[in-house]
């Protein structure tokens, strides 16, 4: 299994440009999430999905869109990039669990985005 894969690894955008960060998992996980990591702030949840066709907002959703048409893929779209979106982005996935306790979240290697 490749686990959770993310592309690209690095990206530089100009203010106002749009792009899509790709995330895929081959573990048949129901749950998928996007986080951004900024120094001194830990990771913050952007959007998450509990299954194909179902998404919801996390803590910091503004400026980002997601969709989940398949179990495997969960792309994150930046509609009009801003310097405040300079960050490292992590995708994660997990099983729904037994209903009584959560399963481990598996993280991808991250995408380092710079917006100038």
Summarize as ranges the residues that interact with other proteins (CB under 8 A): 4, 30-33, 35, 40-45, 48, 50, 58-59, 90, 92-94, 96-97, 99-102, 104-105, 107-110
The count of C-alpha atoms lying within 13 angstroms of the C-alpha of 17, restricted to the half-sphere facing its C-beta, is: 13
Comparison of 44 and 73: residue with beta carbon closer to other proteins: 44
Query: At its nearest, how many Å lie between other proteins and the CB of residue 63?
Result: 19
Residue 28 CB, nearest approach to other proteins (Å): 14
Q: Where are the beta strands (DSSP E) in the chain?
A: 4-7, 10-13, 19-25, 31-37, 43-51, 54-57, 64-66, 76-78, 87-94, 106-107, 111-115
* 84: helix, strand or coil: helix
Taking the complex as a whole, the smallest distance from the CB of residue 65 to other proteins amounts, in Å, to 18
Q: Per DSSP, what are the bridge partners of residue 57?
A: 47
How near is the Cβ of 51 to other proteins at its closest, in Å? 10
Q: Smaller CB distance to other proteins: residue 54 or 79?
A: 54
């Amino acid at each position: 299994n490749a686990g959770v894969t993310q592309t690209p690894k690095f990206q530089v955008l100009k203010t106002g440009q749009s792009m899509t960060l790709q995330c895929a998992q081959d573990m048949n996980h129901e749950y998928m999430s996007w986080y951004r990591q900024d120094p001194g702030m830990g990771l913050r949840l952007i959007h998450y999905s509990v299954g194909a066709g179902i998404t919801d907002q996390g803590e910091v959703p503004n400026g980002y869109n997601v969709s989940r048409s398949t179990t495997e893929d969960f792309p994150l779209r930046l509609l009009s990039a801003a310097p405040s979106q300079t960050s490292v982005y992590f995708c994660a996935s997990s099983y729904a669990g037994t209903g009584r306790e959560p399963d481990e979240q598996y993280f991808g290697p991250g995408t380092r985005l710079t917006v100038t």
